[in-house]
């Protein structure tokens, strides 16, 4: 019963006020051992794999079909690896593999850990405007990201392996699928996200310090940063494939 509940047994919907995603390039050899069987890294230029930090301000999160009245507002932080999965029908899916999930409220941690495998922890999260830019901070998690979305000609980070924003947009999370692997039972859980009006806009990262990424001790380079605003979003009921 516990495993069934954790397998995302019902759809969930929410409204994304803002979703800010920073994507970091890392040599594929450094992260190959971080992903389990059945998944492969989503590679660019036969060299680069990618880690994503997603920071999402959600509103009215609730089981799909329930009225907004029962929804709750949360701030969510997720660390993910861009991966691919070939399902039993031979279809290749692009998505994300979860490394770590955080939220600003213990209620989300409690229910999130009952109905998902995301392993939520609760931390302090603040988001504030400082002059013409926005800063997201977590003292307990050692996280600080400051960015601006002003300007029409934001350039790619100097460390980016991409030559233009069109290339970079292919690695603008979240992607349609999230995968959880049960290696003991040889099962793959597939969660599909459905979004509307999905138009990622480049942002300029002014400064950042991310303790989780620093502790990986890899040569990690900021490759792009996007914001998506005012988006209805829902996650379908989990689909389990047994191998």
DSSP 43: -
User: What's the pLDDT at 7?
Assistant: 92
- CA–CA dist 243, 234 (Å, integer): 27
Query: What backbone torsions phi and psi does residue 162 show, to the nearest 5 degrees?
Result: -85, 150
d(CA 71, CA 241) in angstroms, rounded, equals 30
pLDDT along the chain (243 residues), means of 10: 80 95 96 94 96 96 94 96 95 95 97 93 94 93 93 85 93 86 93 88 95 93 95 94 93
Where do the structural domains in the chain lie, given as residue ranges? 2-242
Q: What is the pLDDT of residue 175?
A: 81
Residue whose pair of structure tokens reads 């932080």 in the numeric block: 77
Q: What is the rounded distance in angstroms from the CA atom of residue 50 to the CA atom of residue 61?
A: 28
Range list of H helices, the chain: 2-6, 28-31, 106-115, 165-169, 211-214
Contact 243, 179 (CB under 8 A): no
Fold of 2-242: Acetoacetate decarboxylase-like (2.40.400)
Q: Count CB atoms within 10 A of the CB of residue 42.
A: 21
- pTM beyond 0.85: the answer is yes
d(CA 53, CA 187): 26
Per-residue confidence (pLDDT) for residue 150, from 0 to 100: 75
Which tokens hold the place of 149? 């979305």
């Amino acid at each position: 019963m516990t495993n069934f509940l954790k397998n995302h047994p019902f759809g969930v919907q929410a409204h994304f006020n803002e979703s800010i995603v920073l994507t970091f390039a890392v040599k594929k050899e450094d992260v190959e051992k971080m992903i389990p069987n059945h998944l492969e890294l989503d590679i660019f230029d036969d060299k680069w794999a990618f880690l994503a930090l997603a920071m999402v301000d959600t509103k009215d999160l609730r089981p799909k079909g329930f009225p907004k009245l029962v929804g709750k507002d949360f701030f969510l932080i997720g660390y993910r690896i861009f991966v691919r999965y070939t399902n039993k029908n031979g279809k290749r899916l692009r998505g994300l593999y979860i490394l770590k999930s955080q939220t600003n409220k213990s209620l989300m941690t409690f229910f999130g850990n009952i109905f998902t495998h995301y392993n939520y922890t609760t931390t302090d999260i603040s988001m504030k405007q400082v002059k013409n830019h926005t800063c997201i901070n977590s003292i307990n998690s050692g996280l600080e990201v400051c960015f601006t979305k002003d300007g029409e000609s934001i350039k790619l980070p100097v460390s980016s392996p991409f030559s233009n924003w069109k290339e970079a947009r292919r690695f603008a999370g979240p992607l349609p699928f999230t995968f959880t692997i049960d290696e003991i039972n040889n099962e793959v859980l597939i969660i599909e996200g459905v979004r509307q009006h999905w138009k990622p806009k480049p942002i300029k990262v002014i400064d950042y310090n991310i303790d989780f990424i620093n502790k990986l001790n890899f040569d990690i380079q900021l490759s792009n940063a996007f914001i998506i605003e005012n988006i209805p979003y829902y996650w379908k009921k989990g689909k389990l494939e047994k191998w």
